Amino acid sequence: MLVREGNDFFVRGVRLLDLCEQFDTPLYIYDGHSIVDQYNRLAQAFPGVKLKLKYACKALNNVNILRLLRGAGSGLDTVSIQEVHLGLRAGFTPDQIIFTPNGVSIDEILSAVDLGVQINIDNISILEQFGHRLGSRVPVCLRLNPHIVAGGNKNIQTGHIDSKFGISIHQLRHVQRVLQSTGVVVNGLHMHTGSDILDAGVFLRAAELLFDAAAQFPDLTFMDFGSGFKVAYKEGDVVTNIEQLGAEVSAAFQEFCESYGRELELWFEPGKFIVSEAGYFLVRANVIKHTTATVFIGVDSGQNHLLRPMFYDAYHEILNISYPQGIERIYTVVGNICETDTFGWDRRINEVNEGDILLFKNAGAYGFTMSSNYNARFRPAEVLIWEGQAHLIRKRETLEDLVRNEVELDFLRP
């Protein structure tokens, strides 16, 4: 939680400018208590159902963050075999992990079977191959596409008709044929309709379609409704009302369980909701450049460190924490990468001088995990704030890290 005292900014008592001194910029920092609080808020929002939360680790996968969430009671949602390994390394047991890949080979899925995690299959071809190899030995979850569109940027809608995700709800007859001829047992149904759920109504419409489909699957032990819980990126944003959504979904789920004849577990896979607001990204203003069009602030980072503004057109609030008492001026904040990497146009920011520290909000989710080494820049360090102390949880990279896997050919050496 960001707190301003006078002209200074703190997270859980830790002064942010001190962190920049100690660890340098660009720097990702995470408020561990905010992460646990968000987890608990979600965990308590679904009364009267057997709820399991599987944190979607692609949002932020530092081992310490995974352990913090494991300690809070979370399971893990993974989308690659490497994420499965990160989860096991962090101490999750295989039964706490669901593997929900898209477009991966049967070999990768079989590797995940060997590791003992819950498999979620998202196409009929893989379901067939899985059935031929394993028959009824390992139950699977099926990712269904109910074709409900949840709004938001079109890059992050996954329920629509052209989506590459899931098995269409209209293909269930085909699915049943494959199950009958291979003996595969289905223990869960899954959907993840997109990254932004605006209201309980959209969610419930998709859920109803899954409830209807469930009648064809007698061996279910859980239903997984993915994620899409929305958080505020700027003032006035519509956010998911978790408590209201929880109450409505819980009531609908209880009713479904009664008609199904058994109490199933209700699973969710939140990523952004848990870690977005807990993260801050700190950068330094390198140059102030007046052009004919605008005043640019060039900072010591770029789209290589925070891709969301360029990739999703995402809005991240930007504050000048060095000089918050300065008058507001209009700036365009850009990176130092040789691309047009714009973090924000026409932002009102307290007057910025070269050397000032700027803070980006909502940097916990899809910040560090989407970062790269483009332009041969080092990826930033990460710091976890916990119980009033700042802990370095990832070192800034070095030149050694950049060239580690290069193979130098002898005949080309100078």
Ligand X SMILES: *Cc1c(COP(=O)(O)O)cnc(C)c1O
Q: Is 279 in the site for ligand X (CB under 6 A)?
A: no
Q: Is 303 in the site for ligand X (CB under 6 A)?
A: no
Residue number, 157 or 336, with CB nearest to ligand X:
157
* Active site annotation includes 257: no
Each residue 282-301 as x (binds ligand X by CB under 6 A) or -, in order, gives --------------------
Distances (CA, A) of 262 to 89, 136, 219, 225, 406: 34, 21, 10, 18, 56
Q: Is 52 in the site for ligand X (CB under 6 A)?
A: no
Torsion of CA 58, 63, 66, 70, to 10 degrees: 150
Residue 90 CB, shortest distance to ligand X, in Å, is 17
- Binding to ligand X (CB under 6 A) within 139-168 occurs at none
Residue 335 CB, shortest distance to ligand X, in Å, is 23
Neighbours of 56 (CB within 10 A): 27
Distance, in Å, from the CA atom of 343 to the CA atom of 303, rounded to the nearest integer, reads: 8
φ, ψ for residue 198, nearest 5 deg: -85, -40
Which of the stretches 52-60, 171-179, 213-221, 405-413 binds ligand X when contact is defined by CB under 6 A?
Answer: 52-60
- Binding to ligand X (CB under 6 A) within 76-95 occurs at 77, 79
- Under 8 Å CB-to-CB from 150, ≥6 apart: which residues? 157, 159, 193, 194, 195, 196, 197, 198, 202, 203, 228
Which of the stretches 33-41, 54-62, 104-112, 167-175 binds ligand X when contact is defined by CB under 6 A?
Answer: 54-62
Residue 322 CB, shortest distance to ligand X, in Å, is 31
Residue number, 31 or 356, with CB nearest to ligand X:
31
DSSP codes joined into one string, 304-369: TT--HHHHH-----EEESS-TTSPEEEEEEE-SSSS--EEEEEEEEE---TT-EEEESS-SSSSGG
Residue 235 CB, shortest distance to ligand X, in Å, is 21
Binding-site size, ligand X (CB under 6 A): 18
H-type alpha helices, 135-199 = 172-182
Which of the stretches 40-48, 240-248, 271-279, 353-361 binds ligand X when contact is defined by CB under 6 A?
Answer: 271-279
Q: Is 277 in the site for ligand X (CB under 6 A)?
A: no
Q: Is 273 in the site for ligand X (CB under 6 A)?
A: yes
Q: Are 226 and 269 in contact (CB under 8 A)?
A: yes
Q: Is 271 in the site for ligand X (CB under 6 A)?
A: yes
- Binding to ligand X (CB under 6 A) within 183-242 occurs at 192, 195, 226-229
Residue 227 CB, shortest distance to ligand X, in Å, is 3
Torsion of CA 231, 232, 238, 244, to 10 degrees: 40
Please select the residue that binds ligand X; options are 74, 78, 100, 362, rule is CB under 6 A. 100
- The residues pairing with 75 across neighbouring beta strands, listed in sequence order, are 54
Q: Read off the DSSP letter of residue 66.
A: H
* Active site positions, annotated: 338
